[in-house]
A and B are shown apart, each in its own frame.
Chain A
Amino acid sequence: MTTDSAARLDLTPAPGAVPLPRMILAQTGYELRTMLRNGEQLLLTMIIPVVLLTLFSATSLLDLGPGRRVDFIAPGILALAVMSTAFTGQAIGTGFERRYGVLKRLGATPLPRTGLIAAKTLTVIAVEALQAVVISAVALALGWQPHGNPLAVVALILLGTAAFSGFGLLMAGTLRAEATLAAANFVYILLLAVGGVVFPLDEFPSGVRSALELLPISALADGLRQVLQHGAALPGEPLLVLAAWAVAGLALAARFFKWE
């Protein structure tokens, strides 16, 4: 035991907070470190997308129509990555933080709630950047030839992040942590199956299909495909759908989120 350093402890009050940006950076660094250490999160955000990308690009398990398989699969996997981080991971992580009183405890520190939300958003974006690098590297190794405007891709991903974050936080802030865990995973698998991620929506009957196209995951996957596979400049309809989901999700989360 280091009694020397313990003896130096000066308990005299000297309160004071650092500026908000420094608090947000500290919180973001902390959230990133704990997330990257968390095995389940890595499975969700990195391993599953890469495995699906490799599996469906390298094999002919699915009929993906004309063109190279990886050109269809890679944008869908990027959309899946955004959903896994912004929605599933964030909902489960935040749900348990609420359950264990972490949000309450952080509420007693100088970090304001807006700062905490900002840090969580930055963390999600940083993880998504990491996912995009890994997924793109694997896709390029599989022969992927992306097209289009990178700014359109960034706009789609940011709007998708806002939409998924809104609903992830809404779930985390209203349901019990266990219910959030179950529901977030269920929604993930459901949207993976019917959201045009790896299974083309063309396979569904046309009535069902037009409904499914309004899902945020379908809009994101379709938008990314329009740009990356077909070189579209700015895919209007997917952007509109995502913007509507983002406004609805964030507004509902702001209204109903309970901190404890």
Chain B
Amino acid sequence: MPLPSLVGGQAPDALHVQRLENPIADHTLGLGADGLRHPPLPATPRTDPSLGLPKIISMAPPEESAVELDGLVKRYGAATAVNGLSFRAGLGAVTALLGPNGAGKTTTIEICEGFRRADAGTVRVLGLDPHRDARALKPRVGVMPQSGGVPGTARAAEFLRLVAAFHARPLDPAALLARLGLTEHARTPFRRLSGGQQQRLSLAVAIVGRPELVFLDEPTTGLDPQARHATWELIEGLRAAGVSVVLTTHHMEEAERLADQVVIVDRGQVVAQGSPAELTGAERQLRFRARPGLGLDELLAALPAGSAAKESPAGHYLVEGDVRPELLATVTAWCASHGVLTEDLRIERRTLEDVFLELTGRELRS
């Protein structure tokens, strides 16, 4: 289903984020493929070619990034799971990979973990090669797979103690179980734990060795609200302690709350990246409900140039543009002159979910 088109004003893809339709050509200027000005992203510093300065070649020390991917490609037979994906996850930061099912998030993470080999491109994890330097990397990196990985018959504390025993200075397994609310399940076999308890144990196993970097593949999927908040607090605790975190998620709320950097992935490519604030932009929008079928062309004529208005679904109106007090006054005055009583009138920032859906489309993916 195509995105409902806006009446007048901006094209639906006029986002205040860097769109990487063509990841190379689009990388240098504030002008996007849509011809609109886009603010440069502070996360990717670059020189302005108009200044005539020589192009600065990055001589960053290898440890500046926790993860550095460049032109990553991974095919499974005829299907391309990852198609030239590049991003950097900052050291000591939380980086969220956001994308629809099948976007290539798990494949990307598994390449970083050394479980899969890329068909092309380079991978650096803590400055090292996940395959060649596996022996050196394993103690420094914690991994939480999407599901499973613990024997069904193993008791929760038993498996956690086993992995702790591989490490020189592990966390106290009992304290970690307590922190995640699993103390009373310490002796429960893994297969008898609920899905949420299994997830939390899996997270505990990933961090018990006090790693510098953790990969968490959908850490809160299937958790109830309490468990999700406990997990978020633990991830925030990791970040505060200087641990680099790379996680995948479907939850916009999770990415907005936790991530320093959000990388939106679709069809194996990065379609946008930046901090949640950069991605959602400073732009505000005005929403209200009223009777369906208002004459939006007429309203638009009364609004400043560059504004946009649409009705979707019926009776729900959205006005985008330079939302100032005058615009609000214009809208309410126009409504008053047409005898329209608005309900739920509010001014809000775009959410990450808005950005995500605009970038990745609204159609359901299999």
Cβ A110 vs Cβ B209 within 8 A: yes
B contact residues around A110 at 8 Å (CB): 138-139, 166-167, 209
Q: Could you tell me which residues of chain B, from 110 to 162, have a CB within 8 Å of some CB in chain A?
A: 113-115, 135, 138-141, 143, 145, 147-154, 158-159, 162
Pick the contact of A2 from B171, B183, B205 — CB < 8 Å?
B183
CB of B282 closer than 8 Å to a CB of A: no
Q: How many residues of B contact A (CB 8 A)?
A: 48
Of A8, A18, A27, which contacts B167 at CB under 8 A? A18
Asked if B211 CB lies within 8 Å of chain A CBs, one says: yes
Interface contacts (Cβ under 8 Å), in number, total: 131
Compute how far the CA of A10 lies from the CA of B238 in the bound complex, rounded to whole angstroms.
9
Q: A1-B183, A15-B139, A26-B162 are in contact. Are A100 and B149 (CB under 8 A)?
A: yes
Q: Are A102 and B171 in contact (CB under 8 A)?
A: no
The verdict on B98 contacting chain A, using a C-beta distance below 8 Å, is: no
Residue of A nearest to B171 (CB): A9
Known: A2-B183, A101-B149. A107 touches B115 (CB 8 A): yes
Expressed in whole angstroms, the Cα–Cα distance for A17 and B170 within the complex equals 9
The one of B115, B168, B179, B212 that contacts A18, using a Cβ cutoff of 8 Å: B168
Instruction: State the CA gap A14–B237 with chains docked (Å).
Output: 15
Contact of A26 among B166, B168, B211 (CB under 8 A): B166
Q: Is A59 an interface residue (CB 8 A)?
A: no
Bound state CA distance, A185 and B320, in angstroms?
68
For residue A255, CB closer than 8 A to chain B, the reply is: no
Over the window 156-185 of chain B, the binary record of Cβ atoms lying under 8 Å from chain A Cβ atoms (1 yes, 0 no) is 001100110111110110111011010100
Minimum CB–CB distance from A258 to chain B (whole Å) comes to 12
Q: How large is the interface on A (under 10, 10 to 19, 20 to 34, 35 or more residues)?
A: 35 or more
Check if A17 sits within 8 Å of B149, measured CB to CB.
no
- Chain A nearest CB, measured from B195 CB (Å): 14
B243 on interface, CB distance cutoff 8 Å: yes
A12 interfacial by beta-carbon distance below 8 Å: yes
Q: How far is the CA of A108 from the CA of B145 in the complex (A)?
A: 10
For residue A97, CB closer than 8 A to chain B, the reply is: yes
Nearest B residue (CB) for A112 = B135
Given the known interface contacts A16-B167, A18-B165, the answer about A5 and B138 at a Cβ–Cβ threshold of 8 Å is no
Contacts of B148 in A (CB 8 A): 100-102, 105
Residues of B within 8 A of A105 (CB): 143, 145, 148-150, 205
Chain B window 231-252, contacts with chain A (Cβ cutoff 8 Å), 1 for yes, 0 for no: 0000001101111000000000
**Complex: A11 Cα to B238 Cα, angstroms:** 6
Query: Which A residues are CB-close (under 8 A) to B241?
Result: 10-13
Q: Which residue of A lies closest to B212 (CB)?
A: A13
A111 to B179, CA, bound (A): 26
Q: Which residues of A10-42 are within 8 A (CB) of B?
A: 10-18, 22-23, 26-27, 30, 33-34, 37-38
**In the complex the two chains form, is B158's CB within 8 Å of A33's CB?**
yes
Q: Say yes or no: is A6 at the interface (Cβ < 8 Å to chain B).
A: yes
Determine whether A109 belongs to the interface, using a CB cutoff of 8 Å to chain B.
Answer: yes
Residues in B neighbouring A100, C-beta threshold 8 A: 148-152
Name the A residues within 8 Å of B168 (CB-CB): 14-18
Instruction: Report B's interface with A, CB cutoff 8 A.
Output: 113-115, 135, 138-141, 143, 145, 147-154, 158-159, 162-163, 165-169, 171-172, 174-176, 178-179, 181, 183, 205, 207, 209-212, 237-238, 240-243
18 contacts between A and B (CB under 8 A): A1-B178, A2-B175, A2-B183, A3-B178, A5-B174, A8-B172, A8-B175, A15-B139, A17-B168, A30-B159, A34-B151, A102-B149, A104-B115, A108-B138, A108-B141, A108-B143, A109-B166, A110-B138
